[in-house]
Amino acid sequence: MLEAIELVGSTQQELQAFVESIGETAYRGRQLFNALQHRRLRSFEEMTELPKDLRNRLNSIALASTLTVESRYISEDGTRRYLMKTHDKLPVETVFIPEERRDTICFSSQSGCPLQCTFCLTAQLGLLRSLTPGEIVEQILIALNDAYGVGVKPPRGTNLVGMGAGEPFLNLDSLMKALRIMADPQGLHIVPNRVTVSTAGVVPRIREFAEISDRPHLAISLAAPTDELRDELMPINKKWPLNELLDACKEFEQTLRPGERFTFEYVMLAGVNDSENHARQLANLLNRHALRAKVNLIPHNPAEPLPYKSSSEEVVENFKATLESKGISTYVRRPRGRDIFAACGQLAAMPAESVSSAVEVNAVPR
């Protein structure tokens, strides 16, 4: 347990209340929020607009940051993967993906993951623990500082995806708090419309999520069109089988607001779930539930010791054509950062020695 208070996981209102509780004015709380979230400063020493005495007092009772960066790996395609450590030495992984018109940061909601999806390397860690709101926010601060410099405004928009390690819906309260902190216009100002979270299908939480007014976009990881296959690939299906999951999805779809995105993710595993018959079964399943959501096909990212291979481009295109012929809008997601184990399903605290020698490996400061 941390004894000092972790301030980076506090809202602006909470910081004002906190500084008032130690005899300061609310104005100092607003300054503190600005320093942490807008200028992305990671220590009180750097906050020179605060009186020295206050900085000293903060140092003795609170923390401005808790994550440390152990390693950074840079892919040939510019993707950066960060392996960080929590104060209690647990791994946290974050991926920064630069694109022409925007950057995407894929963050983790848990250290490890309790779900046992067989195509995912993270599953092999098991659940180490859920991350705090501060630990979620810090991943984004660290990635932006590293890409652009401390406090420098990103030149393009920043999108966030909660598709790193962990099941976000098993840490929903912390996730929503982190997203609210990051949406604050006085801080990072990353609004819910720029955020997508992905769930393996925690059905009661899909219903809970539907009630949240400032929710981000939602993606559901399907991976199989039948219970038999999904039980095998995503054991969470034994608890909430496809019919139950898709009923909840239908209810959720009815709450969608204009411009809100709702998608299904389908990882393509060669010879396992990628045949034309699977595509037909998937289309029938979605059509039977009258779901209009789009499907994203994600070529699997092979990673030892997982037993799967990636479907060929031709198979992925045929799968897409079959879905489209049955009225399902389908996209193929281009894998990024495969060479540094930064792609989907590859996050498992992979140490430097396991990463290809063609890749630049740097230790970076906190």
Active site residues: 93, 344
CB of 223 to ligand SF4, least distance (A): 8
Tell which phi-psi region holds residue 12, choosing left (phi > 0), alpha (psi between -120 and 50) or beta: alpha
What are the helix and strand counts (H, E) for the chain?
Answer: 11, 15
- Closest CA relative to residue 154, chosen from 109, 189, 106: 189
d(CA 188, CA 5): 21
CB of 11 to ligand SF4, least distance (A): 27
- Does residue 200 touch ligand SF4 according to CB under 6 A? yes
- Does residue 167 touch ligand SF4 according to CB under 6 A? yes
- Does residue 303 touch ligand SF4 according to CB under 6 A? no
Total residues at the site for ligand SF4 (CB under 6 A)? 11
Residue from 165, 248, 285, 343 touching ligand SF4 (CB under 6 A): that is 165
Applying CB under 6 A, the span of 165-173, 209-217, 247-255, 321-329 interacting with ligand SF4 comes to 165-173
Closer residue to ligand SF4 (CB): 35 or 267: 267
CB of 120 to ligand SF4, least distance (A): 3
Bridge partners of residue 296, in order along the sequence: 265, 331
Applying CB under 6 A, the span of 19-27, 99-107, 159-167, 188-196 interacting with ligand SF4 comes to 159-167
Q: What are the tokens at 229?
A: 């296959």
What is the DSSP annotation of 62-100?
EES---EEEEEEE-TTS-EEEEEE-TT--EEEEEEEE-S
Residues 319-358 that bind ligand SF4 (CB under 6 A): 345
**Residue 194: how many CB atoms within 10 A of its CB?**
18
Closer residue to ligand SF4 (CB): 50 or 195: 195
Applying CB under 6 A, the span of 42-50, 69-77, 162-170, 318-326 interacting with ligand SF4 comes to 162-170
Bridge partners of residue 95, in order along the sequence: 81, 106
- Closest CA relative to residue 199, chosen from 186, 217, 226: 217
Beta carbons of 361 and 319 less than 8 angstroms apart? no
Tell which phi-psi region holds residue 113, choosing left (phi > 0), alpha (psi between -120 and 50) or beta: beta
Applying CB under 6 A, the span of 12-20, 164-172, 175-183, 251-259 interacting with ligand SF4 comes to 164-172
Applying CB under 6 A, the span of 51-59, 118-126, 271-279, 315-323 interacting with ligand SF4 comes to 118-126
Mention every residue, 6+ apart, whose C-beta is less than 8 A from residue 273. Answer: 223, 224, 225, 229, 233, 266, 267
Provide φ and ψ at 173, rounded to 5°: -65, -45
Closer residue to ligand SF4 (CB): 64 or 165: 165
Strands 102-106 and 91-98: antiparallel
Residue 227 CA from chain centroid, whole number = 26
Closer residue to ligand SF4 (CB): 62 or 117: 117
Closer residue to ligand SF4 (CB): 71 or 109: 109
Closer residue to ligand SF4 (CB): 144 or 202: 202
Residue from 35, 58, 120, 246 touching ligand SF4 (CB under 6 A): that is 120
For tokens 């590859």, the residue is: 346
Closer residue to ligand SF4 (CB): 165 or 349: 165
- Does residue 122 touch ligand SF4 according to CB under 6 A? yes
DSSP character at residue 103:
E
Residues 88-117 that bind ligand SF4 (CB under 6 A): 113, 115, 117
Residue from 8, 36, 123, 161 touching ligand SF4 (CB under 6 A): that is 123
Strands 294-299 and 330-332: parallel
CB of 86 to ligand SF4, least distance (A): 17
Residues that bind ligand SF4 (CB under 6 A): 113, 115, 117, 120, 122-123, 165-167, 200, 345
